[in-house]
Structure 1
Amino acid sequence: MHHAARTTSLALVVASALTLTACGGSGGADVGAEAKQTLTVWAMGTEGEKLADVAKTYKKAHPNVTVKVTPVGWDVAHQKLVAAAAAGKLPDVMQMGSSFLGEFADMGALEPVDTKAFKQDDFFPAAWDQGTYDGKSYGVPWYVDTRVLFYRTDLAKKAGLKGAPATMADLRKAAEAYQDKAGTKWGLHIQPSGLDAVQSFYPFLYSAGGAVLDDSGKPVVNSPDAVKALEKYGSYYAKGLSDKTFRPGYDVMKDFNRGAVPMFLGGPWQVGLLNDNYPGLKGKWAVAAVPADKASVSSAGGSSLAISADSTHKAAAKDFISYLADAKGQADWYERTKDLPANTKAWETGELAGDANMKVFRKQMETAMALPAQPKLTEITSKVDDAIGSVTQGKSSAKAALDKAQSAIESLVG
């Protein structure tokens, strides 16, 4: 009986896949990489704007392939992709944020990665993991992102601190010393609540040996390690070392520049912004690894490039992605955007190889952790955001808040 049931469900899947292709108007085989064709690509935010320039360069070497790039705002990207998938009208190639790749892979909307053409060993482990769902790869790593500690070196001297805090205990002491001896308003900026507060919390959580989901995707957010991490995080607010008011659109760099905030956890793009917008700060700040608890572990973010399962331009799509994902393409992309290459060979030459700040990010990426891809990742992380907010606002203990998040996440993963 069981076997028969499986065959019918399979037949249904095949039938619905056929109707999907038909209504997508893309019945038929792949046109081949060299045929005259238009490749449609969706990319988000700044990446979408800069990718159009790369597409022009690509066309010189591939005169038959016109790459049509549509920039999509991050705020609407998810709903646009969902609507396009439902209508069978996804573009040939799309940038996938790490938080929703699992959802589209689960729908069957993405073509598995050709692992002969793209080798896992060429990329940071966390970058490859973000494109993997249910043991299969659906996204080729494009760029990565991780958080490290930014701190004011001039104010550290005033506070009697030598160098960067090496441990989480040192971080706490440094925050107090900045306030007491250097007269800063706050000790450390971390996000108290609201959307993506979890991004600020990850370095505390991962360094303590905790996680939101374990490797098999099981929720573990109320483990003793996680509870300890959230207690430490909450203590910055209880002691007035961090601002408990959540300010949407808050730009930490202004306060970093004027010395109100001496330390924050930030991403690679902020290095460029500090250099460009606050040249007067040059020589007064530095970046360092996330202070270690059990270890120094940050979160890995970034984006992958995926091919639509319905595309009739898969060969050309694969070529275009190869062009963006090899060491040369990623080094070029870094020059254009300051997005960190996911391909480790791109770090070995040029601007990246000699940049001391970028070496800190590179080393942090080696151990950085990514959440395993899940269809409901956005909803899962929002439960952790809620837990963080209730602790920083003094409404709940870390244990109670994370127990509540754990049961909410269990029902989402179920």
Structure 2
Amino acid sequence: MEEKEGGVTTPQGFKAAGVFAGIRRKKKDMALIYSEVPCVVAGTFTTNIVKAAPVKWDMEMVKNSPYVQAVVVNSGVANTCTGAAGMSHCKDMAETTGMLLDIPAEAVLVASTGLIGKQLPMDKIKLGIQNLVPMLGSSHEDASLAAEAILTTDTRKKELAVEIELGGKKVVIGGMCKGSGMIHPNMCTMLAFITTDACISKELLQEALSSDVNDTYNMISVDGDTSTNDTVLLLANGLAGNEEIKEKNQDYQKFVEALNFINTYFAKRIAEDGEGATSLFEAKVINAADKEQAAKLAKSIISSSLTKAAIFGRDINWGRIVCAMGYSGAQFDPDGVDLYFESSVGKIKLIEDGVEMLYSKDAAEKILSQPEITVIVDIKMGCASATAWGCDLTYDYVRINAAYTSWEVPNGNRSYA
């Protein structure tokens, strides 16, 4: 597997564009992804009972549409809690895009992120689509413009591509995502759009994605809030020319590994770009009885507000970590726990068999001062492991979220998704 500089346009046959449509203030706010040929598609979506209109539209299209060929995205307005009008707006977005690209509306997926409870400004949306279509291009710059246009409170674009070989053919997987706040997934999180020129059956494409989100997007948390708009879409157009993957053979495993690499990269980028964050906080639980136990413990550690605050203060407060483990719902023996802190400058053991050891406070603080910090917890019950990613909890998180309703919109009492 070779990591490549690129994004959604790196696989053969995919184009993209990003524009400013006037939904947000002076920032690009609409993106379009287009495949020159029909694609099979897989998707995972929020488990929040309150689902945005575009989530409902995409769930239906992923399940029942014979193929898809485009994804149109807006930022600034979430199209959530918008009733029948919201669904009508999804249809209008798909029909407008389909008409301009000469494809059926059922071949167009839609996605939105932004303020909850506000209707989409369809005049701006339709004009944005009209401007996007002639701008479609296959360069990395085109992909980057699209990656920029889907951001909300994110501080940076998130995109990547990798190349693998399947059946003697070069196959590329590329993607882009956004996510910074309202991140605590229970299926996937935020918005992610992944493209590939691999030839693979729809059934196996969906299985690969659904399985992988459990180890990637489901293992991150910024603030404990599961969004109403969470969507991950994976489009495969088959232009690489490899023999179609119809069974779980060696090529399927290679594809799954590459997809995991992409999704893990995006999951970590979202966690480290958490609203107001200054560091990426990783929790590794090792030697667990099974994967479920390890995952519960790791996710509980990175979700703990007290632990996140301690990481921000570079405070060696390991007690908060074992406390978070204790209420995770996973059973373990507290008297058998070893705990370490690790970063780029070293590794230090803080507790052994549940009891604090002698260690250098200066060394520990130096380890905690780095932009990426890992806690390793050995519970000595088996050979399973799991990793979760979060971020520190800072003053800026409160500042950003205390002013959300006035962040982009002068008036209105709304939340972001």
For the aligned pair, the TM-score class normalised by the smaller chain equals: under 0.3
Structure 2 length as normaliser, TM-score? 0.26
Question: Structure with the greater relative contact order (CA < 8 A, sep ≥ 6): 1 or 2?
Answer: 1
More helix by share: 1
More strand by share: 2
Structure 1 length as normaliser, TM-score? 0.26
